[in-house]
Amino acid sequence: MKNIFALLLTLFVYNQAYSSNNTITFNPELIKIKIDLNEKISGEVLCVVNHGYARKTFYLWYKEEAISKISVAGNGEGCFEIGDNEYDFQWKASEGMNGSKKGFYSGEATFY
């Protein structure tokens, strides 16, 4: 999960550098990502774990409304970050738009 967060942070920094003036000023050697496990990131992270063999699309639901979707490779995981004032029991995940919804237990929703 630390690697996913580091990748997302790197992509965000790259996007900011590229979109600021349409020239690439990003130098990956100058940026060091240090993740301190004692430091809380803003909001919790909820992950969808795909134990199947094929790539699947999962939807993130908040209070019966589809908020976001993510494609997860077989035997992979994809994560969403939620806000500070929201709790994992308020969120659900489903495989496809019409799939049955599963809750996040210990920050994970597992699909087979």
Domain with CATH 2.60.40.2890 in the chain: 40-112
For the chain, the helix, strand and coil percentages under 3-state DSSP, each to the nearest 5: 20, 35, 45
Please report the pLDDT score of residue 22 as a whole number. 47
Q: Using one digit for the tens of pLDDT, what is the confidence trace for 17-50?
A: 444 454 444 545 444 444 444 444 566 899 999 9
Mean pLDDT of 50-57: 95
Which is higher by pLDDT, 30 or 51?
51
pTM over 0.75: no
Please report the pLDDT score of residue 58 as a whole number. 96
Q: Which top CATH class is 40-112?
A: mainly beta
Q: Letter for the amino acid at 28? A: P
Q: Looking at 1-112, which runs of residues are DSSP E strands?
A: 45-50, 56-62, 65-72, 76-81, 91-95, 101-103, 108-111
Please report the pLDDT score of residue 54 as a whole number. 95
Q: Which DSSP string do the residues of 62-87 spell out, in sequence order? A: ETTEEEEEEEE-TTEEEEEE--TT--
In angstroms, rounded to a whole number, what is the distance separating the alpha carbons of residues 103 and 1? Answer: 19
